[in-house]
């Protein structure tokens, strides 16, 4: 598993992503890969790794297995929590073992193998307790959320970002702007699950129904959030989509009506701000980390240039150099 993670890390780096936020994985493996990259033992993008929390039976919990296997995983999963005290404990537990940030699931999700919908699941007081515990330990909180009730609950609890935000509406748009929170749209995940539902037998009937509805609704609602002035940070939910295809998100954002400059800013300036790394990355300035991506043509004119980058440098080390006649620096 660890070797496969390293392979995916290199695939991601070579397609131009020099820093990534991993918002849903096995903490034990991801923290190890993050630390190995930081120490120079292996190559890969800088990883900001989340510790994931959820409620019993919710989107982050184990499903689709026999009761015996579920019981086995329940005994080992210390970040599934119920009630105020337990959610406070689970947050501290995740940070103790190496979480750079906390990821919560305030609503149901598409790939949960149960017909539990995509509305709010974590109670508002549980969400607030997680945010409080994380802030005490100087950690940000990201919340998976689809339906607006869960988006509003998470924003009112004080989260720093909403992942997906599929059904955000005028009320949550106002809360986004008031709080300064980011929306991470993950349009690529929505597109991917629609294709999976229509063209494969990978998903169960419960998953297919949610995938088609949510996936088809993502782009239109994302466009409304952009028009409402919500801050956008780039994110793909890779792992649902294929690693290395991350740049396809930019094409979907463009198709939804976002201008190319804003797309580039969402993946550089805004993303760096969201993960508190603006002092090191996000812009090309003296004293910052030498992370540079270049394309043959200008992505301001054609966003699809990002699908095949010609040059990738991370921290002054070159990983891709196709040596085209002319390149456009990002």
| Residue 272 domain-assigned (yes or no) | yes
pLDDT (tens digit per residue) in 120-170: 999 999 999 999 999 999 999 999 999 999 999 999 999 999 999 999 999
- pLDDT per residue as tens digits for the range 318-330: 999 987 555 566 6
pLDDT of 16: 97
- From the list 258, 265, 264, 273, the residue with the least C-alpha distance to 305 is 264
Q: What is the C-alpha separation between 222 and 218, in angstroms, rounded? A: 6
Distances 181 to 252, 309, 316 between C-alpha atoms, Å: 22, 30, 32
Q: DSSP E strands: which ranges in 165-244? A: 182-184, 231-232
Mean pLDDT, the chain, rounded, equals: 91
Assess if residue 325 is contained within a domain.
no
pLDDT greater than 90 at residue 112: no
The answer, yes or no, to whether residue 276 has pLDDT greater than 70, is: yes
Q: Is residue 275 part of a domain?
A: yes
Q: In what order do the strands lie in the sheet with 101-105?
A: 19-22, 46-53, 101-105, 141-145, 161-164, 182-184, 231-232
**What gap in Å lies between CA 184 and CA 70, rounded to an integer?**
31
**Contact status, residue 232 vs residue 173, Cβ threshold 8 Å:** no
Q: How many domains does the chain have?
A: 1
pLDDT at position 72: 56
Cβ(114)–Cβ(59) under 8 Å? no
Compare 78 and 203 and report the one with higher pLDDT.
203
| Burial status of residue 205 (CB atoms within 10 A of its CB: 0-12, 13-18, 19 or more) | exposed
Residue 69 has pLDDT above 90, yes or no: no
Reported confidence tier of residue 57, pLDDT bands at 50, 70, 90: confident
d(CA 309, CA 304) in angstroms, rounded, equals 10
Q: What percent of the chain clears pLDDT 90, i.e. is strictly above it? A: 72
Task: Flag whether 128 is in a domain.
Answer: yes
Task: Classify residue 299: in a domain, yes or no.
Answer: no
Integer angstrom CA distances of residue 178 from 42, 164, 173: 41, 19, 9
Provide, rounded to the nearest whole percent, the portion of the chain with pLDDT above 70. Answer: 92
CATH value at residue 130: 3.20.20.140
Query: 68 lies in a domain?
Result: yes
Domain containing 90 equals 2-284
In a domain, 289, yes or no: no
User: Is 72 within 8 Å of 27 (Cβ atoms)?
Assistant: no
User: Is the residue at 70 inside a domain?
Assistant: yes
């Amino acid at each position: 598993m660890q070797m496969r993670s390293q392979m995916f890390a290199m695939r991601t780096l070579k397609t131009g992503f020099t820093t990534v936020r991993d918002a849903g994985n096995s903490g034990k493996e991801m923290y190890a890969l993050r630390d190995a990259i930081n120490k120079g033992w292996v190559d890969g993008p800088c990883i900001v790794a989340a510790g994931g929390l959820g409620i019993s039976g919710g989107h982050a919990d184990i499903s689709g297995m026999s009761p015996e296997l579920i019981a086995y995983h329940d005994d080992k999963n210390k970040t599934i929590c119920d009630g105020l005290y337990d959610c406070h404990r689970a947050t501290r537990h995740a940070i103790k073992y190496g979480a750079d940030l906390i990821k919560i699931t305030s609503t149901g999700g598409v790939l949960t193998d149960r017909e539990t919908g995509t509305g709010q699941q974590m109670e508002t007081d549980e969400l607030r307790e997680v945010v409080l515990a994380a802030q005490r330990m100087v950690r940000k909180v990201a919340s998976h959320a689809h339906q607006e009730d869960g988006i509003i609950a998470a924003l009112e609890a004080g989260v720093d970002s909403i992942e997906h935000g599929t059904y955000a509406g005028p009320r949550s748009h106002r809360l986004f702007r008031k709080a300064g929170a980011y929306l991470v749209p993950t349009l690529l995940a929505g597109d991917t699950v629609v294709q999976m539902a229509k063209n494969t037998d990978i998903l169960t009937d419960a998953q297919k129904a949610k995938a088609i509805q949510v996936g088809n609704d993502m782009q239109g609602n994302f466009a409304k959030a952009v028009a409402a002035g919500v801050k956008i940070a780039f994110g793909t939910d890779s792992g649902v989509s294929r690693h290395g295809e991350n740049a396809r998100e930019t094409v979907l954002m463009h198709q939804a009506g976002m201008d190319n400059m804003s797309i580039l800013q969402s993946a550089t300036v805004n993303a760096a701000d969201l993960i508190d790394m603006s002092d090191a990355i996000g812009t090309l300035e003296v004293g910052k980390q030498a992370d540079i991506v270049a394309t043959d043509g200008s992505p301001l004119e054609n966003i699809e240039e990002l699908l095949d980058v010609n040059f990738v440098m991370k921290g002054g080390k070159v990983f891709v150099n196709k040596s085209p006649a002319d390149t456009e620096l990002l």
